[in-house]
């Protein structure tokens, strides 16, 4: 499932195309999830990217929307964990989902590698000055949802049915992110 792998590649992908990511993993049972969300990039960058369908592949549940300002990929795919979170690319940061019993699933999204590709750009003030305006207003956000959140190191919603972790892309430039190694949520389906 290419969309989740693209979304979790986060920082490098965001800087390459100034992409905002907002993904939700809804746990349906001990083996199945529904992945929904959007990836968004500036339309001018999309037009220059010579995209061959990788940004928003229909076969992976994507639907491309082009506006004057943005290219938006709306994602909606349901399937087994092994299909949605397959790790067949060395350049990805895979999520995992593990059934713990009693209708509880632990979802782990590694975060510690998201800013690995940023060091070189941060050391170059001209690169930072060029990218900062393009990254303003964009964030990478992940949420996990289900019948009940049992525990999470993200922000749990008032209704207790979802947990969210988000970070502004400019935080990578400022290096002021206080990020855990992973966004971990246990959810009852």
pTM of the model: 0.82
What domain range is 149 assigned to? Answer: 2-188
Distance, in Å, from the CA atom of 179 to the CA atom of 111, rounded to the nearest integer, reads 7
CA distances from 176 to 54, 168, 172, 181 (A): 31, 10, 7, 15
Tokens of 184: 């971990």
The pLDDT assigned to 6 comes to: 46
The pLDDT assigned to 24 comes to: 94
The pLDDT assigned to 122 comes to: 66
DSSP one-letter code for 146:
S
Closest Cα partner for 121 from 56, 183, 169? 169
Residues of the chain with pLDDT under 50: 1-3, 6, 8-13, 15-17, 90-91
Distance, in Å, from the CA atom of 107 to the CA atom of 144, rounded to the nearest integer, reads 8
Structural domains in the chain (count): 1
């Amino acid at each position: 499932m290419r969309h989740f792998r693209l979304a979790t590649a986060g920082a490098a992908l965001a800087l390459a195309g100034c992409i905002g990511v907002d993904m939700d993993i809804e746990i349906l049972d001990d083996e199945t999830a529904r992945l929904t969300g959007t990836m968004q990039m500036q339309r001018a960058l999309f037009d220059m990217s010579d995209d061959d369908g990788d940004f928003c592949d229909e076969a992976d549940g994507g639907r491309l929307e082009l506006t004057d300002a943005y290219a938006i990929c709306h994602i909606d795919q349901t399937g087994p964990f092994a299909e949605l979170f397959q790790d067949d690319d060395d350049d990805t940061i895979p999520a995992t989902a593990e059934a713990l019993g009693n209708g509880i699933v632990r979802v782990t999204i590694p975060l510690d590698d998201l800013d690995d590709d940023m060091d070189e750009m941060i050391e170059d003030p001209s690169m930072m000055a060029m990218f900062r305006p393009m990254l303003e207003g964009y964030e990478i956000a992940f949420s996990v949802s289900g019948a009940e959140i049992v525990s999470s190191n993200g922000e749990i919603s008032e209704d207790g049915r979802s947990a969210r972790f988000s970070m502004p892309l400019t935080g990578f430039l400022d290096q002021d992110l206080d990020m855990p190694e992973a966004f971990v949520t246990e959810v009852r389906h």
